[in-house]
Amino acid sequence: MAMTLAEELKGRLRAGLAACGFDEAVLERVGVSQSADLRFGDYQSNAAMVLAKEAKQNPRALAEAVVAKTDVSGLAEMEIAGPGFLNFRVLPEAFAKRVAGLCGDERLGVAQVTEPERIVLDFSAPNVAKPMHVGHIRSTIIGDSLSRIGRFLGHEVITDNHLGDWGTQFGMVVWAWKKELNREALEADPLAELLRLYRLASEGGKADEVIREACRKELVKLQQGDAENFAIWTECVGYSLRGLERMYVRLGVEFDHWKGESSYNERLQRVVDSLIAAGLARESNGALCVFSSGEGKPEEDPFRIQKKEGWEDNPMLVRKSDGGFNYATTDLATIDFRVEEWGAKKILYVVDHRQSLHFRQLFDVARRRGYDLDLAHVSFGTILGKDGKPLKTRSGDLPQLEDVLNDARDAARVTIEERSKLDDAAEKDALAELIGISAVKFTELSHHRMSDYVFDLEKMVALEGDTAPYLQYSYVRVRSIFRKVEGEVDLKAVAVQLEEDAEVHLARMLVRFGETVPVVLDDYRPNLLATYLLELARAFHSFFEACPVLKAEEGVRNSRLVLCDTTARVLEKGLSLLGIAVPERM
RNA sequence: GCUCCCGUAGUUCAACGGAUAGAACAAGGGUUUCCUAAACCUUAGAUACAGGUUCGAUUCCUGUCGGGGGUACCA
């Protein structure tokens, strides 16, 4: 029922085209989109240019005919521009009507999807043996935001933290644990001791093949059910989970499930058996592998690769020559589980783009096993240092996430001391935590997920410009107005009137919320929502400077209060979809 | 070698195939007896290169150059 302005205009335009004699099939392809530049109106359509070409007519002549037959009265003014664009300039009263509608609308103009999907969202997935580092924020923050947006749009989203609790790093930790564990250190600071053990094995393994081999053997023993290794593993996981939970609480991220790789252990043999039975896997160099299906061109085949000698096989290993399983096996078992137990129709993996080949192989094998599933790798770029080079996971020198969050909080605390209106120290501390973490999250979400991301803590916590605090501040400014309103105002009964440019523009931005949120899921791009919110906040701040609210004559005042209230609600909702909360004062 | 991703102002980032490529930071100039100046207003400044498709290309295709990733027992 909540039709957006773009949809309403599209309907009017199609009716006009029908009146010009175009048939249904043609009308289906006609769209109306937001204009990038307001000089060309609010919305535009290229229908006349497209249709004129097909009908071999003059586009501007066709446009003239369409304008004559299209009724946009009460909604917009139509004009023809450039090579034949149909531009719609929305009338202030139409915006006013829309804003009044938002006033009583819980969903703020965002329609529910007509066909809800059951979507499994796999994100964050840190390794359990190590503390979270900055490299984990992309998946965690993007995934969390996508889950919130998916749910708001009406999808059934199942979030799952697919912990790395069963891989090679555990062979390393177990090996080092047996050799070097310091019980006292473990009791004093379990995560630090676990990290020490991991590094010991990691560094040792780099230099010494014997150590690498020993670690692999410990892993195989663990995976085959060795009691001692399992006991060590259980203890390690317990410590790690407590540390991880603390981070997720701070980040405000929750999961429906924490099903780590280990929970699929008993399924692995079955997966492998079924692959063999289906003729999909065979042995090669001691390992069990899935090879190319032979369909398609070799350069598009994830199982083929060209080396100097020509095209060679590039198989996916499902069992190593030492008998251990690897994560391809686990991922296949995980797909089985998600389909069988959760009825998944779609699975999204929010994972680093470096794993794209793995996912291409995985998805192809799933297809060959007969699944008709929508599988998507929501990949993202690398985190870079200020030198422009990737922060390498293996260096061991990545800043830990906890330190980053603390630094952000502390930087926010300094700014608060300088500028805040608050005086209570505890309140300032809480605000610092909120603003610091919001700033980190928003920095992440305002970037296109595919671009490499320069990690610059100073800029992240600068707290000015295109940042979360800018948005939060605009919310605070609105709330401040409402604390000073005298008397009760029934906003739903107000006649909204838009006179000033700043009012019209703010209304325009408010109305666009309903057109913005749904497109985020088209290509899994929270940054589109982040960008929209910045633009909305900018419109509000300009309005705030140009249009006094409380001092205005009552009718104007009430109309502006509606704009203010709707702005606050859209900001609050939009930020919450990004996983960011708003303060009442700052 | 093959393959995937990325090349946009000095810097960090935007831009469903649309019109004169938007912001922010940094730089310059202004705004506060007035609802929170973490703000507003304002001045400068960019699509790596060469072709192609198109009425129209930052966007799609081809090639070149540059950066990063992946390329069988790591995840």
Q: Which nucleotides on chain B have any atom < 7 A from a protein Cβ?
A: 1-7, 12-16, 18-20, 22-25, 34-41, 55-56, 67-75
ipTM over 0.85: yes
pLDDT at A56 over 60: yes
> In 3-state terms, what secondary structure has residue A314?
coil
CA of A536 to C1' of B37 (A): 19
Arithmetic mean of pLDDT over chain A = 91
The whole-number pLDDT of residue A394 equals 40
Quick check: A358 and A328 in contact, CB under 8 A? yes
Domain boundaries, chain A: 5-90, 168-253, 401-577
Kindly state the average pLDDT of the residues A82-98: 94
The whole-number pLDDT of residue A128 equals 86
Helices (H), A392-500: 401-419, 425-445, 457-460, 468-483
pLDDT at A568 over 70: yes
The whole-number pLDDT of residue A400 equals 84
Q: In this predicted structure, which of A308-317, A501-510, A515-524 has the lowest mean pLDDT? A: A308-317
Q: Which nucleotide is nearest to A483 (CA to C1')?
A: B35
CA of A47 to C1' of B33 (A): 55
Q: Which of residues 495-524 of A touch strand B (CB under 7 A)?
A: none
Q: Dihedral, CA atoms, A534, A537, A538, A540, nearest 10 degrees?
A: 160
CA of A260 to C1' of B5 (A): 28
The whole-number pLDDT of residue A387 equals 67
Q: Quick one: CATH architecture of A5-90?
A: 2-Layer Sandwich (3.30)
Q: What proportion of chain A, given as a percentage, has pLDDT over 90? A: 72
If you average pLDDT over each of A31-40, A342-351, A416-425, which comes out highest?
Answer: A342-351
Q: Which of residues 416-445 of A touch strand B (CB under 7 A)?
A: 416, 419-421, 431, 435
CA pair distance A234, A129, nearest whole angstrom: 11
pLDDT by residue (tens digit) across A446-501?
A: 999 988 877 777 777 777 889 999 999 999 999 999 999 988 899 999 999 999 99
Kindly state the average pLDDT of the residues A393-399: 56
Per-residue confidence band for A1, with pLDDT thresholds at 50, 70 and 90: very low
Q: Which two tokens stand for residue A398?
A: 């990545």
> In 3-state terms, what secondary structure has residue A453?
strand
pLDDT at A38 over 60: yes
Measured CA distances, A383 to A285, A379, A399, A465, A526 (Å): 36, 13, 12, 22, 17
The whole-number pLDDT of residue A166 equals 86
Helices (H), A104-189: 137-152, 168-180, 183-188
Amino acid identity of A505?
H
Locus of tokens 């969050």: A405
pLDDT at A548 over 90: yes
Q: Which two tokens stand for residue A274?
A: 């079924």
pLDDT at A393 over 70: no
CA of A467 to C1' of B24 (A): 9
pLDDT by residue (tens digit) across A235-282?
A: 999 999 998 999 999 999 999 999 999 999 999 999 999 999 999 999
Amino acid identity of A5?
L
CA pair distance A329, A336, nearest whole angstrom: 11
Q: Which two tokens stand for residue A187?
A: 């009791």
pLDDT at A405 over 50: yes
pLDDT at A443 over 80: yes
pLDDT by residue (tens digit) across A297-345?
A: 888 899 998 887 788 899 999 999 988 888 899 999 999 999 999 999 9
At the top level of CATH, the class of A401-577 is mainly alpha
Kindly state the average pLDDT of the residues A3-20: 93
The answer to whether A394 CB sits below 7 Å from nucleic acid chain B is no
CA of A456 to C1' of B24 (A): 15
Q: Which residues contact A273 (CB under 8 A, 6 or more apart)?
A: none
Q: What proportion of chain A, given as a percentage, has pLDDT over 70? A: 98
pLDDT at A391 over 70: no
Quick check: A296 and A268 in contact, CB under 8 A? no
CA of A388 to C1' of B47 (A): 21
User: What's the whole-model pTM score?
Assistant: 0.95
Measured CA distances, A291 to A26, A112, A283, A356, A359 (Å): 45, 42, 10, 17, 15
Measured CA distances, A89 to A93, A465, A543, A574 (Å): 12, 30, 20, 26
CA pair distance A585, A582, nearest whole angstrom: 9
